[in-house]
Structure 1
Amino acid sequence: MINYIIQVILFQVLFVAVYDFFLSKETFFTKNRWYLLSTALLSFLLPFFKIPTVQKAVPQEYYILLPEVVLSPQKVIEKTAWYQSVNYLDVLFWSGCLLFLLVFIVKLERVIRLIVKHGIIKEANYKLVFLPKNSKAFSFFNYIFLGKEIPAEKQEKIIQHELVHSQQKHTLDLLFFEFLKIVMWFNPMVYVYQNRISLVHEYISDEVVSKTTQKESYINNLLADIFQVEHISFINQFYKHSLIKKRIIMMTKTQSKKVKQLKYLLLIPLLGSMVLYTACSDNNEKNVVLAKKEQVTVYMQMGKDYKKEVKGKKETYLDYYQGTETPEWKEISYKDLLPEEKSEYDEDRSKMKEKDNLYSKTLESKLYIKPNGRKVLANIIDFSKIKDTKKQKLNGEVVPFAILDKVPTYPGCEEGDKDCLNKSIQRFVLGNFDASISKELGLSKGKKRIYVQFKIDKQGNVTDIKARAPHSALKQHAEEVVSKLPQMLPGEYEGKIVKVGYTLPITFNIE
């Protein structure tokens, strides 16, 4: 969620920057109105916009599930008081939403009270509300509020101005940003957007009314007196001191040339870069999606006639197939596997490589996915390979079955020793993870897990550390512990040094 909010704010900053630098000085007021509305909405939708082809173009690393680290009994976490488990960030967020909702209701009540208290005069296209003993002028939908202190000769022009707001539904624009302020009260860009569109509304109304009267006379009406201002953000005010100077400047400005509308094309590269960013950015929660263990099913098929399906007692991430025929399921690739599934696949391939016998050389390994989503590792027997494998053996060639030729090497281990790497990381985490920090988190009883995902890069450094945990404090601590892992010798695949990704599960009990 935090990543989403940051992206929304970043996109809104960029959209407003383009508006301020390139569009705000032009007289394309209606287009500017729709620019502000559409980009405000787009900023909330773009983070969800993913392009599969772009995502597939990003290089994939190899992920391996490390053995589970079980914290020792002396590090078992105890349950604490309920108030210690409260997520105060959530409390702050919802408190802010409630506060701004109440503020909105109070503002709306003020407008409704004015209508009820002073009554309305129904006209053809609007409803007029006269406000005694003041000189306010503003509109809300088709209600136009007019202070009785405003001279009669000026009232008609003000009504014409406010009528434009009413006819073009400007109030809906302001209410849209009011609702955004309720759900994203902490986002300063919502207030910036509302300020910009309020000014555009005034430009639009000034442009329409000034066509039916002399500009000099209309400008003099704006400057004639100092009027009161109603402090309600979702009404269109005629006399708002902070905007009058800008309105006068824009009314006296020469009409922008049509060719300058090409500036709106700046949206194309801007949107393209945003889409690319969201498509390529890693979603932390998505990266640590975990496979589910189920009772293994083994499928066997020898020729067209013999088929057998056996349900085993062992729980695995993958089902298995062995036979001479190609399964009818949809074929997938290694990169479609989740980290746990990849680890199981790698282990199976390593065992097959260790056998290195004539039978193992007849097998072609493929991956499939069944209609229920369960993935299958298939070993398809091809007896025609027997002659080829004999030749390969005679020529001294090696057929690689494991995804990695050589796993990263932990300091003090023999080069490429997978077991030593796993045990060394386990010992390191057990020795450095301080479970006592969780005593004040108030977690519920039962087994809890932390999943840490990291990469060992081409220099052997631990990078790109991301964790998922029952509490943000545990997440931060787990990331800090893994970041202290020593530099290692990098892994190799097909003779090249590669990045290797790992998922490390840490388990503990709460009693």
Structure 2
Amino acid sequence: MTDFLIKSTVAMGVLLGLYYVLFEREKMHRFNRFYLLGALILSLVLPFISFSVYNENLASTITLLPLELGKNQNQVLQTGNNSTTTILCCLYATGTLLMLFRFVKNIKAIRSSVNSNKRLSLKNASLVLVDAKILPHTFMKYIFVNKDEYENRELEKEFFTHELAHVNQLHTLDVIFVELIRAFYWFNPLIYFYKKAIQLNHEFLADENVLKNHKHVITYQNLLLSKASGKQHIALASNLNFSLTKKRFVMMTKTTNRFLATFKQAVAIPVIAGLLLVSCVDTPEEKTESPHLPKSKSKTVVQSNEDTYNVAALNTQPEYPGGMQAFYSQVMKNFQVPEIDHDLTAKIYVSFVVEKDGAITDIKILRDPGYGLGDEAKRVLELDDTKWKPGILNGKPVRASFNLPITINVKS
């Protein structure tokens, strides 16, 4: 869970920062809309994406997850403060339930307003005439306006064009999507910045549609100023005077060079690639002091007088009797986590060779996180005298190299 929170928050922060620096002030609102939504989605799925990059001399990756290591043995020490965990879980559940209750309450309030007020057709939308003194706002296909202002023809056509843009471009779906994420991610302040950026971009899009149809920038700006007020803000609706700031007025008269826009959009590609590389790629590293694994581009690593092959090059890969689950069980049975007085998640990278007769030899620690974990991993492998089925190449048994990353999760 901690890993998910860290990775998703970092990704959200980086992508949102990129938006503020490169995109927000440029007139490319459709790109910005999908960038912001995509940034949110990518940030939430990024922690669940994992790519394995194989060392050219190492053949296979076997991952023991913390829960597997800790089912029956001491590999995962779950001696943490259960009461603290319970309290945090209760606080999270309470906050989530309150946010969901608020979301449902807002939906019901809007639905009630639709059902209890007069409705009129307006192109592919429905006008809802409300007695209360409100500013025009939109939810799904419903445009809410003050009844008296509508009947007295006090609402200029620009306002209807603005709200119809929200309807036609389905802006409400974006808002609902962000609200649902916020319900479960309410403790992360970045979600609130994302919602504000998405809604402001909606206003840019709606303003752009008005000016496309009516052309008169100054007239439209004066109309907006005449309606600007501190009146109610509907949480799930697109509001006419949402963030009626200098940003919107500047954007109405701004032009963006197409080459510059394309260049800025292209900048996002290496940033996203960098996030994937840092967050998702798991690359085993060799110890600098290990002279037995030369950095060769060859598929063959000479470790003795005989060749040792990468298992990817074999016709039949080496196999532990009973399968890899049996191998996992053997490791779990014998691995003893040293005394560690704090929470720790660590990976140990071990390599070994499966000989022609099935014995494992040449056990090395490629990366040792310390605390005696590397020595313990080596001890467990040396302790196991089970014979593997050897790898087969061209009908003959051969020596094959393995790489084994073991994940240890310790709760103090």
TM-score, length of structure 2 as denominator length: 0.65
How many angstroms apart in 2 are the aligned matches of 1:331 and 1:264? 47
Matches within 5 A, 1:177-188: 177-188=178-189
1:245 to 2:232 alignment: no
* 1:274–1:56 distance in 2 versus 1, CA, 3 Å: farther
- Identify which of 340, 346, 369 aligns with 1:455: 369
Deviations 1:446-466 (A, max 9, x none): xxxxxxx9733xxxx7699xx
SS of the residue corresponding to residue 330 of structure 1 reads: coil
Task: Give the aligned residue type for 1:120.
Answer: R
SS of the residue corresponding to residue 251 of structure 1 reads: helix
1:21 to 2:9 alignment: no
* 1:502–1:339 distance in 2 versus 1, CA, 3 Å: farther
Matches within 5 A, 1:111-510: 111-148=110-147, 150=149, 152-213=153-214, 214-227=216-229, 229-240=231-242, 242-280=243-281, 330-331=317-318, 341=331, 366=354, 378-379=358-359, 401=361, 403=363, 455-456=369-370
Deviations 1:16-42 (A, max 9, x none): 000000111100011110110111111
Task: Give the aligned residue type for 1:46.
Answer: L
2:227, 2:241 within 8 Å by CA — same for their partners in 1?
Answer: no
* 1:462–1:208 distance in 2 versus 1, CA, 3 Å: same
2:134, 2:232 within 8 Å by CA — same for their partners in 1?
Answer: no
1:33, 1:197 within 8 Å by CA — same for their partners in 2?
Answer: yes
Aligned-residue sequence identity (percent) comes to 25
Task: Give the aligned residue type for 2:41.
Answer: L
2:3, 2:47 within 8 Å by CA — same for their partners in 1?
Answer: no
How many angstroms apart in 1 are the aligned matches of 2:83 and 2:17? 42
* 1:187–1:194 distance in 2 versus 1, CA, 3 Å: same
Deviation at 1:48, TM superposition (A): 1.9
Deviations 1:299-340 (A, max 9, x none): xxxxxxxxxxxxxxxxxxxxxxxxxxxx9963269xx97595
How many angstroms apart in 2 are the aligned matches of 1:338 and 1:279? 24
Deviations 1:424-454 (A, max 9, x none): xxxxxxxxxxxxxxxxxxxxxxxxxxxxx97
1:222, 1:244 within 8 Å by CA — same for their partners in 2?
Answer: no
2:136, 2:240 within 8 Å by CA — same for their partners in 1?
Answer: yes
Higher RCO, Cα 8 Å, sep 6+: 2
2:51, 2:282 within 8 Å by CA — same for their partners in 1?
Answer: no
Deviations 1:109-156 (A, max 9, x none): 211121122121123311001122413210001100012454725342
Deviations 1:179-225 (A, max 9, x none): 00111111111111110010000001111111222111111101124
How many angstroms apart in 2 are the aligned matches of 1:56 and 1:43? 30
Task: Give the aligned residue type for 2:116.
Answer: K
How many angstroms apart in 1 are the aligned matches of 2:409 and 2:234? 54
Gaps of 5+ in 2: 64-68, 284-313, 336-352, 375-404
How many angstroms apart in 2 are the aligned matches of 1:237 and 1:505? 50
Q: Which position in structure 1 is the counterpart of 2:296? A: none
* 1:59–1:231 distance in 2 versus 1, CA, 3 Å: farther
SS of the residue corresponding to residue 50 of structure 2 reads: coil
RMSD of equivalent CA atoms: 4.2
How many angstroms apart in 1 are the aligned matches of 2:265 and 2:407? 45
How many angstroms apart in 2 are the aligned matches of 1:234 and 1:330? 57
How many angstroms apart in 2 are the aligned matches of 1:504 and 1:84? 20
Task: Give the aligned residue type for 1:110.
Answer: A
Deviation at 1:172, TM superposition (A): 0.3
How many angstroms apart in 2 are the aligned matches of 1:55 and 1:186? 39
Matched residues, number: 312
Q: Which position in structure 1 is the counterpart of 2:53? A: 53
* 1:344–1:187 distance in 2 versus 1, CA, 3 Å: closer
Rg (Cα) greater in structure: 1
